[in-house]
Amino acid sequence: MTRRLSGIHAAWHFWFAVSFGGEGC
């Protein structure tokens, strides 16, 4: 995984968790 892709993945995962009330996993 490239550094840029890793950053994008982390960002979308973060917002995904926030959308679900910060349920994280």
What is the predicted pLDDT for the residue at 22?
Answer: 58
Tally of domains in the chain: 1
CB 24 within 8 A of CB 17: yes
- Residue 1's pLDDT band (boundaries 50, 70, 90)? low
What is the predicted pLDDT for the residue at 16?
Answer: 83
User: Amino acid letter at 14?
Assistant: F
Residue with tokens 């994280």: 24
Per-residue model confidence as pLDDT tens digits over 9-23: 888 888 888 887 755
Domain residue limits at 20: 1-25
Alpha helices in 1-25 (DSSP H): 3-19
pTM score of the predicted model = 0.36
CB 17 within 8 A of CB 23: yes
Instruction: Say yes or no to pLDDT of 25 above 70.
Output: no
Question: Which of the pair, 24 or 1, is modelled with greater confidence?
Answer: 1
CA dihedral in degrees (5, 9, 11, 15; nearest 10)?
Answer: 160
